[in-house]
Amino acid sequence: MFLDIIMADLETEVWERLELVTDPELDEPITDMGFVETVKVSSSNKVEVEFRLPTYWCSPNFAFLMAFGIRREVASLPWVRGVTVSLRDHCFGDEVNEGVNSGRAFSEVFALYCDGADLGEVTAKFDAKAFDRRQEVMLLALQERGLPAEDIVTMTLGTFDRIAFAGGEEERQKPRYRALLMSRGLAQGPDDPAFPTWEGQSIGPMDLKAHLARLRGIRINMEFNGALCKGLASSRYKEVEIGPEGPTLVDFIAGRVPTKGRGASAG
């Protein structure tokens, strides 16, 4: 019993760690998207993670990124003695699983499949979209507070840091936006501008509206895709039965996907 509780706690730690792995297209944690299905911790502290994407045809390059993201995050837990990652029912699943469990570096495995090319161009494209989406949340929140365009586009990181956002999407996105500002080197110190473009340009006060119009399109695309992916993930293994009451959807592998952190409550 005592051992069960320990195992459940360890599984919970793994689930929490997996929240740091995002779907690059959607900029959302794979756990929120329902992609991770099973986390198992063995008595020798080896971890197995199974995940499944919404369709058999989801982008293989992103499947690679997510699989290696899972390996990296789980392996970073100090007690973990080994990680096995399994992508199920995917058109490139065998290659992804072989690669991620081989112990080799991502760049090395990935290069095997495209004549040595890397994923730089694609990850840069989706980093830019993630940045735009996070920035839009912050810009809209500041507009909502009644700040004039001039004050928003000239705001420094120091001022931005001092503004407290309570609740909602802006509170969630503030540290995520800041993290990308830092990792991209767009702002380092308190006097640096808080709202440059991804290319490092400043936004003129007159251009804020057009800038926001563009960001809006990016956000709508991401939200739409997120809704589609969640829906497809939920209906992928369902079939219709026509009964006396009309059609109903039956999950033929019901209960297969545990809710996040289920391990803890099971203890």
Partner 1 sequence: MYKAPNGKEIFVLDGHTHFWDGSPENQKNIHGKQFIDCFYAYHTNLSPPEQLWEKARFEKYTEDDIYRDLFVDGPDDMAIIQSTYLRDFYKDGFSSIERSTSMASRHPERFIVNGAFDPRDGEKALEYIHYMKEEFDIKGVKMYTAEWNGESKGWALNDPDAYRCFELCEKLGIKNIHVHKGPTIIPLNKDAFDVHDVDYAATDFQNLNWIIEHCGLPRLDDFCWIAVQETNVYGGLAVALPFIHARPRYFAEVIAELLFWVGEDKLLFGSDYAIWTPQWLVEKFWNFQIPDDIAQERGVQLTDEIKEKILGLNAARIYDIDVDAKKKTLAGAPVQIAAE
Looking only at the bridges linking them, the beta strands covering 36-41 and 82-88 are unpaired
Q: Is 104 helix (H, G, I), strand (E, B) or coil?
A: coil
Q: Between 74 and 137, name the residue whose CB sits nearer to partner 1.
A: 137
217 lines the binding site for partner 1 (CB under 8 A): yes
Least distance to partner 1, CB of residue 93, Å: 11
Q: What is the CA radius of gyration of the chain?
A: 21
33 in Cβ contact with 26 (< 8 Å)? yes
218 makes contact with partner 1 (CB under 8 A)? yes
Binding mask 136-175 toward partner 1 (x if CB under 8 A, else -) reads: ----------------------------------------
Tokens 């809209």 locate to 140
Q: How far is the CB of 39 from partner 1 (least distance, A)?
A: 25
Pick out residues in 118-137 that bind partner 1 (CB under 8 A). Answer: 118-119, 121-122, 125, 129
Q: Would you count residue 232 as binding partner 1 (CB under 8 A)?
A: yes
Furthest-apart CA pair in the chain: how many Å? 68
108-113 LR contacts (CB < 8 Å, sep 24+): 109/64, 109/68, 110/61, 110/64
Interface residue with partner 1 among 175, 185, 244, 247 (CB under 8 A) is 247
What's the rounded Cα separation, in Å, for the pair 114 and 156?
Answer: 42
Six token digits for residue 213: 């119009």
Tell which one of 35, 92, 177, 195 touches partner 1 (CB under 8 A): 92
Closest approach of Cβ 84 to partner 1, in Å? 23
Binding mask 17-56 for partner 1 (x = CB under 8 A): --------x----------------------------xxx
Judged by beta carbon, residue 61 or residue 156, the one nearer partner 1 is 61
Helix (H) or strand (E) holding 144, with range, is helix 120-144
Which whole-number Å values give the CA distances from 252 to 55, 75, 241, in the listed order?
Answer: 16, 33, 11
Give the amino acid at 133.
R
Contacts of range 107-113, beta carbons closer than 8 Å, 24 or more positions apart:
109/64, 109/68, 110/61, 110/64
Is residue 207 within the footprint of partner 1 (CB under 8 A)? no
CB 11, min distance to partner 1, A: 29
Note the residues at the interface with partner 1 (CB under 8 A). 25, 54-62, 64, 89, 91-92, 110, 113-114, 117-119, 121-122, 125, 129, 216-218, 220-221, 223-225, 227-228, 231-232, 234-236, 238-242, 246-249
